[in-house]
Amino acid sequence: MALLPGGDDDEIGYINITPMVDVLLVLLVIFMVTANFLKSESVNINLPKVNAADPNVAQSVQISITRNGELLMEGITVTENKMVEKLSRESKNRPNMRVTLSADERLSYGTIARAMGLIRQSGVTRIALSVKR
Going across the sheet that includes 98-103, the strands are: 76-77, 71-73, 61-65, 98-103, 126-129
Nearest to 51 by CA among 109, 131, 105: 131
Question: CA angle, 37 as apex, 115 and 20 as ends, to 5°?
Answer: 140
pTM of the model: 0.56
Domain boundaries, the chain: 57-129
Fold adopted by 57-129:
Nucleotidyltransferase; domain 5 (3.30.420)
Distance between CA 80 and CA 5 in Å, rounded? 76
Question: pLDDT for 17-46, tens place per residue?
Answer: 898 999 999 999 988 887 766 654 455 666
* pLDDT digit string, tens, across residues 50-107: 565 545 444 678 888 888 888 888 888 899 899 899 988 888 888 788 888 888 888 8
